[in-house]
Amino acid sequence: MNDKELQKQLQVKVRKKLEPLFAKYRMDFGGIDAALKWKPIVLIIGNYSSGKSTLINELVGQNIQRTGQAPTDDSFTIITSDPGVDNLETPGSTLVNDENLPFGHFKKFGEKLISHICMKQIASPMLEHMAIIDSPGMIDATTEYNRGYDYMKVIGEFAKMADLIVLMFDPHKAGTIKESYDAIRNTLPEKSGEHRIVFVMSRIDECDNLSDFTRSYGTLCWNMSQMTGRKDIPHIYLTYSPNAVAANAVAEGWPQEREDLIQKIMKAPGFRMNHILEDIDRQVNEVQIVAQAVGSFLSRANRVFWKFANVTLGIALVLFLFGDIILHTIFSIPDTTLIASLRGGTLEPTGLIVPAVLALLTLLAGSFGYSKIVFPQLRRRALAKGASLVKLDNEYRLNLWRKMESKVRENLLGMSVNDLWAGYGRSLARIDNFLNYDLKKYYEKIVN
């Protein structure tokens, strides 16, 4: 079974097994669904004039994207190739409404973003089995203008879909753009994985001399250490436009650096299934910890419910048998008590009315007291000490909890007494079964 067939099979299984569970725990299934729908994706990001469009044009062998040192394009451009289609541009409004494409969840960002998304389909053998997404240039806080949508969140959504993220810098702004910092420090680690990110310093041919290049490269390395928070600097690929520099002016090693980068991008489709399974694994672990917290709370609430119910039933039984005696003693009603009727053998159906009403009122009061007083109090305690709901015995679980704590709160705040019988225990069992059985089976398939 090839990767395409395996991806299709996985899509059917995941939708059937996971989509209802994600909905139950108020979690977005769109990211997983989007990843399973389409072809491998390479996302290219960077500041204006970092060489994104130049690299794309070189990869596809066509001048498909405008280039220049000034801002030339403020749209997310999806570039790909499909059989029988050439030089076709599709607007964002069509893309987000096409169920066969993975862009439907971008509707939530509004019309401003939708008007800044498009797809270009060109004749290119390289893009028949992948797509490249060009992005608007990142900007500084000092020059920031209102894009009309949350740029970082949109980058995060595209990063979740991408099999490779190429983050580009130019020697004149070597890692000093605020949005670059935000992307590297927060957005990309949260939405993707470090192994999917490729760092590139482009336009190195514009350095006047070796000293100028060394200074720019050193500045980028320093800024990278600040942005990543790591002592070890990830590999930074070097590239340049071969059309802009004479062959005899190229420094030793530059052509190999360019070739290594291009090969890295070309190999991105080969990691597609691994990345899909990684994303599913990560997101199912996220829903699992939410389910465990919800299940723990409901288990506590259920234990208290039965204790409360037993006490209420006991009181109701006592009032059914003896409550009318109290009423008779104080108010002289009813004329004959239940116990007296039983002893005298004169019990009639009407003699059960008062005991039954007393018992029923007790049960109603107990139900009201639990649902309106006890259950909300249990929920407040759980919200105050949410971490006690789950086992946090390692760093991975701690980080997972920090990420999903707000989602746990959202679920708990939306719960009512009726959820005690809503089958949350079975839902958690299905999540555990998917992680321990189904997902492992697919990992074994791609290894073999």
Q: pLDDT tens for residues 388-430? A: 999 999 999 999 999 999 999 999 999 999 999 988 989 999 9
Question: Of the candidates 208, 194, 282, 241, which has an alpha carbon nearest to the alpha carbon of residue 58?
Answer: 241
Q: Measured in whole angstroms, how far is the alpha carbon of residue 279 from the centre of its chain?
A: 9
SS3 275: helix
- pLDDT average, residue stretch 67-75: 59
- pLDDT average, residue stretch 307-316: 95
Residue 368 above 90 pLDDT?
A: yes
- pLDDT average, residue stretch 333-341: 82
Return the higher-pLDDT residue of 413 and 37.
Answer: 413
As given in the structure block, the two tokens for residue 207 are: 């350095």
Quickly list DSSP for 354-376: HHHHHHHHHHHHHHHHIIIIIHH
The Cα 244–Cα 237 span in angstroms is: 18
pLDDT score for 36? 81
Question: Of the candidates 138, 147, 141, which has an alpha carbon nearest to the alpha carbon of residue 117?
Answer: 147
pLDDT score for 142? 45
Q: Which of 343-347, 356-360, 434-438 has the lowest mean pLDDT?
A: 343-347
Q: What are phi and psi of 143, to 5 degrees?
A: -115, 10
Q: Report pTM.
A: 0.77
Q: What are phi and psi of 169, to 5 degrees?
A: -130, 155
Q: Which of 92-96, 123-127, 303-307 has the lowest mean pLDDT?
A: 123-127
Q: Note the pLDDT tens digit of each residue in 161-176.
A: 899 999 988 877 765 6
Provide long-range contacts, Cβ within 8 A and 24+ apart, for 109-112: 109/149, 109/150, 109/153, 109/154, 110/148, 110/149, 112/147, 112/148, 112/149
Question: Of the candidates 117, 120, 159, 161, which has an alpha carbon nearest to the alpha carbon of residue 136?
Answer: 117
